[in-house]
Amino acid sequence: MTRRGWIVLLLTAVLAIGTSWGVTRLRASERKVAVPKPGAAAAKQFALREKDIAFFVKRAAEDTESAGDRAELAARYLQRARETGDFNDVILAENLSRKSLSLRSAHNLETNVILISALLEQHRFAEAHKLAEHLVAEEPDVDRYHSILGDIDLEVGDYAGARASFTAVHGPSRGGFSIAPSYARWLEISGDTKSARTMLYRALAKADSSDDLQRETVAWFHLRVSDIEMRNGRLRSAENILHAGREILPLDHRLLSADAHLAALRHDWRKTIALGDSAIVTVLDPGTIGLVGDAYAALGDTAKAAEYNRTMEVAVIQQPGSYHRAWSLFLLDHDRRVPEVLAKVQEELKTRKDIYGYDLLGWSLYKEHRYAEAQSAFVKALSQGTQDAVLYYHAGMIERAAGDTANARRYLQHALDLNPTFDPTHPAVAKATLDSLTH
């Protein structure tokens, strides 16, 4: 989840198109496109979560000096934030975990993990990094703390730090629930997608067979594995895993949004709209709003597409601080607000120098026709050997614009080899560009 504070501000815009959304959903239903229904088990889990929150609210009120109850409550708010996208719950989690730590610093190290999660949800990487360093210093034998630090290193682009952190994780711990997703991400960024995939599948199997994990957590593992499958062109596997995840949490907005994206990759635009609208009902994610807008455009409904795209744009610009990477790419791909995106990226790169930041910088510069600078940015974007088709597509298009046809051909072909369905529309552009370069 990313910053959601803008969601409240967005409500006005949403209300303006509320009527047409209602019509859209009705039409989707009429077309018999599969739309989710609330599962009894999921509803029960949500009800239990609320019961838990009430339980710890009461306990915290009963003992004004209880650090433990405030930490437990913070963890529940964070869980609810992940499920509902409610940014206010992230703030509550941050405040409660800080209060817990102020009440008891000793024997309360785990509360730092909750605080770190709340900070990461707000993209406050520097503060989170400092706390993670504190955890590692206090408990150097706890593998999970090294993994947390490594994860933040990846976020801020400190790849040497990430390597040191993940190397410190002992072998047997690497496949554990709390470490495997981060470790796999490091492997992916390092270019070892195959090992990352293997690790994630093993973790997913463990999660599926565990009856101790929260359903939200199990669903998240499905989301994570489907994501790596989609990004590597394995759409059928991604579909199976997503659908299994939706059996667990039918209304999970992240799974619905991912399923909508999968439908878009297959150019099943009506399904994209139905699933995307279902996801937006829970969380007004600009990326999903934009995806639905594109689906309408593909169906020729330009009025509806414009409506959604305007809403998406409003959503993004209301967001304080740096833009979410996916939303920024969406704006760039639609040639909208390019100078603003560029300025935001340049600002963010002062503290967050990761490969996807440089990818965004290079793509922004490309859109501004500043090709030499874009090439320089891509030296850094590709520096870790990450086998991501989108990165190579961007690199190829930049090289072509800069006049380096050899590199353009190499990168574009590599993008298509990695994943011929890396985007609903860009693979066709890559192929056409390759053809033009060949002839």
Partner 1 sequence: MKTWITRRDLIVPVVAAALVAVVAVGKVKASDHQQTVFTETNPRYDITDVFAFPAATPGRIALVLMTSSPLTPALTNSHRFADISEGIYQIKVDLDGDAVEDLVFQVSFTGPAGAQVVSVRGPSRPNETGVVNTFLTSGNLVTGPVNTNLGDPAGMQVFAGPRNDPFFIDLEQFFRIIPDRKPVTGPLSQLPPHPTASSFRPVGQAVDFLRGYNGLAIVIEVPRTALTSNDNHRRFGVWATVNLVNPPANQH
Binding residues for partner 1, per CB under 8 A? 44-45, 48-49, 51-52, 55-56, 58-59, 62-63, 65-68, 72, 104-109, 138-142, 211-212, 214
User: What sign has the CA pseudo-torsion 55, 208, 258, 115?
Assistant: positive
Smallest gap from residue 265 Cβ to partner 1 (A)? 35
Pick the closer one to partner 1 by CB: 96 or 316.
96
Counting Cβ atoms within 10 Å, is residue 104 exposed (0-12), middle (13-18) or buried (19+)? middle
Whose tokens are 């933040």? That residue is: 152
Pick the closer one to partner 1 by CB: 52 or 404.
52
How far from 107 is each of 72, 76, 93, 214, CA to CA, in Å? 14, 20, 19, 25
End-to-end CA distance of the chain: 45
Smallest gap from residue 68 Cβ to partner 1 (A)? 6
Pick the closer one to partner 1 by CB: 102 or 383.
102
Pick the closer one to partner 1 by CB: 10 or 115.
115
How far from 111 is each of 73, 95, 134, 242, CA to CA, in Å? 11, 11, 12, 32
Alpha-carbon Rg of the chain, whole angstroms?
22
Rounded-to-integer distance, Cα 261 and Cα 421, Å: 11
Locate all alpha helices (DSSP H) within 193-268, ordered by sequence. 193-209, 215-230, 235-248, 253-265
If you ran DSSP here, which 8-state letter would residue 321 be given? Answer: S
Smallest gap from residue 231 Cβ to partner 1 (A)? 32
Token pair for 360: 């965004």
Pick the closer one to partner 1 by CB: 44 or 130.
44
Counting Cβ atoms within 10 Å, is residue 270 exposed (0-12), middle (13-18) or buried (19+)? middle
Smallest gap from residue 219 Cβ to partner 1 (A)? 14
Smallest gap from residue 129 Cβ to partner 1 (A)? 20
Pick the closer one to partner 1 by CB: 218 or 390.
218
Transcribe 107-145 into DSSP letters. Answer: T-THHHHHHHHHHHHTT-HHHHHHHHHHHHHH-TT-HHH
- Residues near 167 by beta carbon (within 8 Å), at least 6 away in sequence: none
Smallest gap from residue 69 Cβ to partner 1 (A)? 8
CA 435 to chain centre: 33
Token pair for 24: 């859209």
Smallest gap from residue 66 Cβ to partner 1 (A)? 5
Pick the closer one to partner 1 by CB: 103 or 430.
103
Smallest gap from residue 118 Cβ to partner 1 (A)? 20
Pick the closer one to partner 1 by CB: 71 or 331.
71
